Amino acid sequence: MNRAWFAMVSTTALALAISSSAVAAQIRIGVGALGPISPEGEYRIQQAVGSLPNIDVVPIVPPGGVDACVKRFVAGEPGDRLDGVMVVSVPTGSFKAVRGSKEATFSGTYQIWLLNLSTLAEDRHAFTFQDQEPVVGGVSALLAMPAEMLSERSGNGRLVSGDVYQAYQSIQSRVESKMVAATKLYLTTSPIRGIGPLNALECARKLVQRGDAETAMAVFKSVGVDSPQVKAMMARAQKKLMRAEAEKLLGQTLGAIAGDNPGQANALVEDYAKAPASDPSQVHAVRGALTAFSPPAAKTSLDSLLRHDVPGLDHAAFLAMVERMFSDETGSKAATVQVLGSQVVVEDGKASDGLKTHVDTYARALGQSARLMSLRCGCGASATLVSGAAGQPLLKARFEPSFKQPKVGLP
């Protein structure tokens, strides 16, 4: 009797332990959408993610790129803490509609971005979708709908003729089903399964490695600077953080040089010289290259400086360089600059209007962005200009080490 009772208690305890472990292992993934995806479509995607073992989905409004997500979901309010972020998007304007003799064909792009908030590892995938719908009447109205067809629902959208409205509803339902299917396909091999509980100190360490001193300090403060572990880590990172701040100024100086703005470069190099962790030999090299900016010999010297310095810049300094260069070339401050492997993505909300009157300056800035990325990685690189977080590419540029000039054109 005692043995049976002991076995029953042991089994119950084991079951409770397993249950407790399962609850403890729940990973909070923030899932949000950008672009014309309907609330119903977004909900179905959230359900697909939430069907994975030990995944707890938290609906979010995407705050931006890596730094913005870290500030919000790692260094922000305790109730907002997440272990990872997944953003799905349909670039605005990516829909294309082609009228055939008997049907209209619709195509577009569906993108997924996954971020591990402990390791800052990113994963990106894009899927293209296509659908057809027979049409006999109201074709012009049907072809005018693709840009909005995912965001309007029955009873909430504009009124159209019966035939066209039915076609619209049918297309919308099928396209959103394809998005859900693409999400499920992605999840079968996605790194989302490797995301563990949030480790804020690991996140801070990765930020220090990237040279993002400001965001790293925000994470340190969120953990608590009185913690002995945090104090020790901050002490070890102090030199790196100071060097990162100096590197950022150097990156901005190089960006002004790449943007043909010697006046700004001269001011920035003086700021760099005052930074405690600046390199005196680097200051001397930059000042020397800027001494005579106009003659061809000086241009060659500046180019040599970029070739020497750009490969050694850390992540944050490189972003600062591209932002500075882009601003000096176009007169417009980029909202964000992201590096995805060997690709630079520049987001500028004013680009759509700016291209109408200054397409040459935008093309030059984007081409220079691709060239700087190529210098940094020593490989072929590309740059893309978008108008918003889920914006359709406006311009694309490519540069190979063998190129004399970047190649810039329409997507």
Kindly state whether residue 143 falls inside one of the protein's structural domains: yes
* Helices (runs of H) and strands (runs of E) counted in the chain: 13, 11
Token pair for residue 264?
């700004």
pLDDT given for residue 138 in this prediction: 54
Kindly state whether residue 349 falls inside one of the protein's structural domains: yes
Among the three residues 195, 219, 248, which one is the final residue of a domain in this structure?
195
Is 191 in the same domain as 340? no
Kindly state whether residue 75 falls inside one of the protein's structural domains: yes
Q: Where are the alpha helices (DSSP H) in 193-227?
A: 200-210, 213-223
In terms of Cα–Cα distance, which of 14, 51, 1 is closest to 29? 51
CATH number at residue 100: 3.40.50
Name the most confidently modeled range: 13-17, 103-107, 112-116, 136-140.
112-116
Among the three residues 195, 215, 245, which one is the final residue of a domain in this structure?
195
Query: What's the pLDDT tens digit per position in 115-174?
Result: 999 999 999 898 888 777 776 555 555 555 554 554 444 333 333 344 555 666 677 778
Question: Structure pTM?
Answer: 0.73
Q: Are 42 and 33 in contact (CB under 8 A)?
A: yes
Among the three residues 195, 227, 255, which one is the final residue of a domain in this structure?
195
Q: Residue 312: CB partners within 8 Å, gap ≥ 6?
A: none
Can you tell me the distance from the alpha carbon of 335 to that of 347, in angstroms, rounded to the nearest whole number? 6
Kindly state whether residue 374 falls inside one of the protein's structural domains: yes
pLDDT given for residue 10 in this prediction: 46
Kindly state whether residue 78 falls inside one of the protein's structural domains: yes
pLDDT given for residue 37 in this prediction: 83
Work out the average pLDDT over 221-233. Answer: 81
Domain count, the chain: 2
Can you tell me the distance from the alpha carbon of 157 to that of 86, in angstroms, rounded to the nearest whole number? 28
Q: Could you tell me the residue range of the domain that residue 378 belongs to?
A: 331-411
What is the residue whose two structure tokens read 């707890």? 56
Over the range 79-96, which residues count as b (16 or more CB within 10 Å of their CB) and which as e? eebbbbbbbbbbbbbbbe
Kindly state whether residue 232 falls inside one of the protein's structural domains: no
Kindly state whether residue 342 falls inside one of the protein's structural domains: yes
Three-state secondary-structure class, residue 381: strand
% of the chain at pLDDT higher than 90: 42
Over the range 197-232, which residues count as b (16 or more CB within 10 Å of their CB) and which as e? ebbbebbbbbbbebbbbebbbbbbebbeeeeeebee
Query: What's the pLDDT tens digit per position in 273-311?
Result: 999 889 999 999 888 888 866 655 556 777 888 999 999
